[in-house]
Amino acid sequence: MSVSVIHSIMNLTTVMAKLILKRMCPAIFLWATFLWAAVPAAEAAPVGLTYREVPLASAAARRSDHRPLLDVTIWYPAVEGTAQEEVDVGPPGQALLVGGLAAIDAEPAPGRHPVVLLSPGFGGSAEDLFWLGGGLAARGFVVVGVSHPGNNALDRTPVGGTAWWERPRDLIAAVRAMATDPALGPHVDMAHVGAAGFSMGGMTALALGGALIDPRHFDDFCATRPADKVCDTAPETPDAPHLTQRDGIHLLGLDQAAARASDGAAFPGVRAILAIAPPVQMLSPESLGRVTARTTLVVGDSDPLVPAATEAAVAARLVKDARLVMVPGAAHYSFVGICTPHGRTVLKLCAWAPEAERAHATALAEAIRLFQDTLSPGGRP
């Protein structure tokens, strides 16, 4: 998926506006296959699902309604025996993406549970990754996902799409709010926190782990490799004008904010990172070498939009002991939710998502392995 500033200047199409409910190093190169069978079904717990609006001053400039609020979606383990129902993504009766089993506002399972912060891709919403959020909650994690202000499927604004350096701070605000939430706070273990994300959300997860956001580096990369698809316009907006990050930032009067892009974007407690198809050229290469959280990168080997060779593989070489997992046949949108029959008739991305089931199964199994090993009691720090 392209991450050019021009996306932020485009409005959603009518269909997309209705999308969501609220040289590689051989030592780290792995041809992944289905791993779902490695996760015993008996371990699954009922999944609770709830939503919050969190006060956040920086959201006002990004949202079209200028409300200082952050929309948060939380998946969590519910008490044993909780009845679940199928929750799909999209307008009632016209679901576009398959969600999963969950119980809305269910009672949380007793005890404190490790936390995973979850960031969707550019223009996406937390529910795009229901398969990951719900899958982790079923294995005992509280998953705090955000629909970034002004850069989600219901609301896109120029500032929301351009100020992507606010993404990590969105998640930090969300998890801190959950820690004091009357219903969820007693069940959130803030001493065991991980981060996950897809596409630009994968970049966000790496930033939470200490990588520095650097819009200038992205422009410099694209100046030397203009044919790289990550520098191009998105397939959804082929007629959009092309602007550099510098030009877009200046046009919107965000120069001072961009100069502070990495301030407060790291969450010191992050122990593990799952980055799915991340555009890492948006980060300072030197800073990737300072990431200490255990890191797994999952990408499709048929992704022309965020090519592994110039993106995830770079992070895999620079982040110490990073694990790189390649999913055969998967492309970029293979990691978004599975399209429903109705979704396939209205969403172009449904045709750009080969091997989606394999992609989801692989990424979820890798996530469970990573976070159980690092966040669960007895796991490695």
Residue 1 in domain? no
> Residue 33: exposed, middle, or buried by beta-carbon count in 10 A (0-12, 13-18, 19+)?
exposed
Residue 224 in domain? yes
Residue 208 in domain? yes
What's the confidence (pLDDT) of residue 229?
Answer: 87
Averaged pLDDT, 205-222: 96
What's the confidence (pLDDT) of residue 378?
Answer: 52
Count of domains forming the chain: 1
Query: Which has more confidence, 24 or 169?
Result: 169
What's the confidence (pLDDT) of residue 232?
Answer: 79
Sequence-ordered list of residues with C-beta below 8 angstroms from that of 284, at least 6 positions apart, any chain: 211, 212, 213, 214, 217, 262
| Percentage of residues of the chain with pLDDT beyond 90 | 79
Residue 66 in domain? yes
Residue 23 in domain? yes
Say how far apart CA 136 and CA 139 lie, in whole Å: 5
pTM of the model: 0.88
CATH of the domain at 66: 3.40.50.1820
Residue 381 in domain? no
Query: What does the pLDDT look like over 304-329, one tens digit per residue?
Result: 999 999 999 999 999 999 999 999 99
33 pLDDT more than 90:
no
Name the H helices within 98-199. 130-137, 158-162, 167-179
Among 29-43, 54-68, 264-278, the least confident range: 29-43
Q: Give the Cα-Cα-Cα angle 213, 214, 216 (nearest 5 degrees).
A: 165
Residue 162 in domain? yes
Q: Give the Cα-Cα-Cα angle 230, 317, 277 (nearest 5 degrees).
A: 35
Averaged pLDDT, 360-380: 89
* Structure tokens given for 251: 């046009």
6 pLDDT more than 80:
no
Among 35-44, 129-138, 288-297, the least confident range: 35-44
Residue 380 in domain? no
Rounded to 5 degrees, what are φ and ψ at 307? -60, 135
20 pLDDT more than 90:
no
Comparing CA positions, the residue from 132, 188, 128, 177 lying closest to residue 152 is 128
Q: Which domain holds residue 62?
A: 6-375
